[in-house]
Amino acid sequence: MLGELSGYSEHFEGLDYGSGLAGILVTIICRDRSLHCKRRIRFPKKEKILYLDIMLDLARMKKFDLAVRKREVAQQLYEDVPEVISQLRIPDFDKHAFISDLRSWIDATGWR
């Protein structure tokens, strides 16, 4: 499904938000709420890569058709990535510009 989030490389290629963040790795997890899994967020400063989980409810996702699943994933990316980035202290990184570009790109996918 995420392979269909086409254009992310092209959208962000050549854009410079500073040297404080080299990349973001998002893991999307559908989990049973009864397992009480916690979302992982890691930002090793030496790597300058943000690792974060997007947690989706498995029971809800099972009920949805593909179009609704896409909207759910896009909405969670739209909300969760900016929320986490806003909370981190990342020197030499333009958070506001990145968040704006991320949300523009998600809107352009037509999933939201």
pLDDT in tens, 90-111: 999 999 999 999 999 998 888 7
Largest CA distance in the chain: 43
Prediction pTM value = 0.85
The count of structural domains within the chain is 1
Please give the Cα distance from 103 to 44 (Å, whole number).
24
Closest-CA residue to 12 (of 110, 112, 100, 111) = 100
pLDDT tens, 43-79?
999 999 999 999 999 999 999 998 899 899 999 999 9
Domain that holds residue 45: 2-109
Alpha helices in 28-93 (DSSP H): 58-63, 66-87
Residue type, 28: I
